[in-house]
Amino acid sequence: MTINTKPPKRVLIVDDQQRVLDVLREILASVRHKHAYEITTAQSVADTLATVQREPFDLILLDMVMLGIGDPMLRTDRAST
């Protein structure tokens, strides 16, 4: 048996509906992969922007239809590259 020593992949899930956050969290928890997933969630534009400015993520699952989220997130991402 081998022990997984790889650091977890960091995932941010952004949606204003709690049910969507719960389902996506369950799906990621059930995936068998060589990396574990460390999941963070956000339900508002303000929380999302504060979270991505303070922490790095390997993947962001973003509800682009959520009111006001798309444009600020794209600007934040471009500014960090």
CATH code of 73's domain: 3.40.50.2300
Q: What is the pLDDT of residue 17?
A: 93
Q: What is the pTM of this model?
A: 0.74
- Token readout for 60 is 């962001």
Is residue 31 included in any domain, yes or no? yes
> pLDDT tens, 17-61?
999 999 999 998 888 777 788 999 999 888 988 999 999 999 999
The range of the structural domain enclosing residue 35 comes to 9-80
Is residue 2 included in any domain, yes or no? no
CB 18 within 8 A of CB 12: no
> pLDDT tens, 2-22?
555 678 889 999 999 999 999
